[in-house]
């Protein structure tokens, strides 16, 4: 089985698919910027194919903040390492500024992916349509 084939968690995360059926879309749009800034109230509600309610319990999405935090730390470490490697004499404040800008640029993608990762922890793929 390929790593990013239908049925794997990575498929659902990378291709914005419902974690249960891998057919319906999780987000209305594949554009993370649109989802973060221009999403409507009914974003991330139910799957149009299997009618899975994405918010498994009240406050479910608070948990995705832990995933988002982990991604942010990974981005911070990456940019800290890159700036330290390519600009060894950089001022610490400029380095922090570069990291903050990187976090802000990545934040829409982070928001988009962290919810997908979080729901994939709890929902298992069910291949046939016998829901």
Q: Which residues bind Zn ion (CB under 5 A)?
A: 18, 20-21, 24, 47, 49-50, 52
Cα–Cα distance measured from residue 56 to residue 41, given in angstroms and rounded to the nearest whole number: 17
Smallest distance, Zn ion to C-beta of residue 16, A: 12
Query: Which residue, 43 or 107, has its beta carbon nearer to Zn ion?
Result: 43
Query: Which residue, 21 or 117, has its beta carbon nearer to Zn ion?
Result: 21
Smallest distance, Zn ion to C-beta of residue 48, A: 8
Query: Which residue, 31 or 46, has its beta carbon nearer to Zn ion?
Result: 46
Query: Which residue, 48 or 82, has its beta carbon nearer to Zn ion?
Result: 48
Q: Calculate the dihedral angle through the C-alpha atoms of 61, 121, 52, 126, rounding to the nearest 10 degrees.
A: 170
Output the 3-class SS for 80-121. Answer: HHHHHHHCCCCCHHHHHHHHHHHHHHHHHHHHHHHHHHHHHH
Smallest distance, Zn ion to C-beta of residue 22, A: 7
Q: How far is CA 2 from the centre of its chain?
A: 21
Smallest distance, Zn ion to C-beta of residue 76, A: 34
């Amino acid at each position: 089985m390929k790593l990013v084939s239908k049925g794997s968690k990575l498929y659902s995360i990378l291709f914005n698919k419902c974690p249960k059926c891998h057919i319906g879309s999780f987000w209305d749009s594949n554009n993370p910027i649109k989802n973060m800034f221009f999403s409507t109230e009914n974003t991330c509600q139910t799957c149009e194919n299997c009618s899975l309610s994405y918010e498994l319990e009240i406050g479910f999405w608070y948990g995705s903040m832990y995933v988002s935090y982990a991604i942010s730390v990974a981005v911070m470490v990456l940019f800290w390492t890159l700036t330290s490697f390519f600009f060894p004499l950089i001022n610490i404040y400029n380095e922090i500024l570069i990291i903050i800008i990187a976090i802000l640029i990545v934040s829409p993608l982070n928001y988009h992916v962290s919810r997908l990762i979080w729901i994939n922890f709890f929902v298992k793929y069910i291949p046939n349509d016998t829901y």
